[in-house]
Amino acid sequence: MEKKILKSFRLFRFAGINISHYSAMVLLLGAAVLTASCTETDSVNSGNVTTDEIMDFVDDQVRLLVSETDAAIERNPEGRRGPRVNSRGIRADSLFLISSRDWTSGFMPGMLWYMYEYTGDDHWLGEARRYTAPIEREKTNATTHDMGFKIYCSFGNGYRLTAEPHYRDVIIEASNTLITRYNPTVGAIRSWDHNRDRWDFPVIIDNMMNLEMLFRATEMTGDSVYYDIAVQHARTTIAEHFREDNSSYHVIGFNPETGEVMQRHTHQGYAHESAWARGQAWGLYGFVMSYRFTGLPEFLEQAEKIAEFILDHPRLPEDLVPYWDFDAPDIPDVARDASAASITASALYELSTMVNDKSAYYKQMADDMLASLYNNFRSPDGGNLGFVLGHSTGHHPHGYEIDTPLIYSDYYFIEAALRKERLESR
């Protein structure tokens, strides 16, 4: 009952209403009378799972994840790549701890910021600050394109919710570091520095996700250099990553001297010409986000093309959680990827606000996808060491992180739930 009262206060506060404790109780009881008769019916419809229902479960799980992570780091604080800062997943029935250098290091702090955003509870504010601080060292790490994942999911959410000047400074410095990897001849930001025997200048579809930090940096500074690089990178991605059916390759290898395409590969998918599920989700989310910042019709058009490819695909399961690759052999007896569904659902909620003719369709598909994840893919209560979802796939061709919890799956699942609430409270 206490949680329900706190949530009522939060909803009134978000709506800009100043209301006393007594009045809130009266309104809450009145609402209960009106809604009690339909509650049981609504719960049967998987598409009607509520954000409150999801976040009640998430709250318990994330508290456990923080506790387990703290204990695991205390037992084993140092790793091969530096001090361990948080959890990425589960391997060999234990938390897989990572340093700040890992591309996923920003997701756990980001989840904690989302918990603070949802609850307004100072407990989560303290935890979010504590887990964000160790990521700061990455702001000058020029050996990676993953600045958006690491810095923007952590410091970006922190700045959005607190307006703390230091967080802003970190974001700007990280953006300055990231744009050193931009090649104007290619028209894109270099992704990996590894596997130089395979690619001279690789650009991966995941890199679309790092553009949000650059768009924000222009808003923060008034300097268009970040915006211009982000726009050109997105345009190069449209030109080179996508096939005629609007699926995408994972990696495009460019000649850095001429800008010529040398390879079109799908490194983490089944085959070079296959549609790796999470790669399609990264593309969808990236172009929806790019349209939000630019208003350029080409980005919205690309987002809708990707959405159509995913949602109309004959091998998308009825429960809307993709197989790890749309072209994997032996479907349906292959691993799923809950992370691809989490990313897609979050993107679809935002996409539904950008169109008129298909707004209700995108919203309903996001609702159904989110509900399917909650009803069929969530961890047991108190299970999976506190991770929210199971059944994600990281790098299937290399044989690791298959059918397992992964931190970025949880991050985008929580983000999707919050986006659902914002849409429905308008």
User: For 250-378, where are the E strands, in sequence order?
Assistant: 251-254, 261-265
Residue 206 is a catalytic residue: yes
Please provide the DSSP assignment of 33-82 as one string.
HHHHHHHHHHHHSGGG--HHHHHHHHHHHHHHHHHHHHHHHHHS-EETTE
Helix (H, G, I), strand (E, B) or coil at 112: helix
- Cβ 190 vs Cβ 252: under 8 Å: no
Q: Quick one: which of 344, 413, 383, 414 has its CA closest to 90? A: 383
Q: How many angstroms separate the CA atoms of 232 and 386, rounded? A: 40
Please provide residue 254's backbone torsions phi and psi, each rounded to the nearest 5 degrees: -105, 155
| Catalytic option among 56, 102, 197, 206 | 206
Q: Quick one: which of 321, 305, 311, 298 has its CA closest to 409? A: 321
Q: How many angstroms separate the CA atoms of 113 and 219, rounded? A: 21
| Catalytic option among 56, 70, 146, 319 | 146
- Which of 231-252 are b and which e, b meaning 16 or more Cβ less than 10 Å from the residue's Cβ? bbbbbbbbebbbeeebbbbbbb
Residue 337 is a catalytic residue: no
Structure tokens at 411: 């991050």
Active site residues: 146, 206
